[in-house]
Chain A
């Protein structure tokens, strides 16, 4: 059974870089599949942040692309999100997720439980 678990600071200062990690168990992330990050501001809808392929290729939301970096660490079986120059608008629950099929970017079937990141001084 594939499981994903987000971790990272719950509070980030404005203009700093938000850094989160998604630890994966039950599957080797370097083998296949595409691994995504999605966020949800309090009381609002879902927003795709970006996806990294098992090969390291990345796709980012055009609206966030200039500030986002997603990377893989196959030795630790985890992938990470960095979002720079954060503002209060980046306050959200951040989810990591995996699609149901290795051939697609979306159709997310496995999700972490989510972690709330608040941007505040």
Chain B
């Protein structure tokens, strides 16, 4: 059971928009930056968003991040079949003094 809660799965049609939520507490999301990763089957995770809403170079602006209170959200617009993957949120927990990952959300593009 992860400290950071994500929905196990989400789905949407190609071209549509989807959002993935990540819920935590004041000791983690509430007071620390959130990152998001995408993991394709059999590969290492790839950083999509850091510092709540910043994109590393090479990540298209179809991907966006936001944070409000103790929750964060990843948004993906213009869905493509290649976006089918597992998505993870991540942050630091100041009380545990540990890096936390969410349980992951499997995105299906119908």
Contacts and interface: CB of A to CB of B under 8 A. Distances in A.
A35 to B, nearest CB: 13
A95 B43 CA distance: 10
Contact of B88 (A36, A45, A113): A45
B104 interface: yes
A107 B88 CA distance: 12
Contact of A62 (B33, B43, B47, B98): B98
A112 B45 CA distance: 10
A107 B104 contact: no
B57 to A, nearest CB: 10
Tell me which of A36, A45, A48, A59 has the highest count of chain B C-beta atoms within 10 A of its own C-beta: A45
Interface string A106-118: 1111011110000
Interface in B91-108: 91-92, 96-104
Interface of B: 2, 33, 35, 37, 39, 43-47, 50-51, 56, 88, 90-92, 96-104
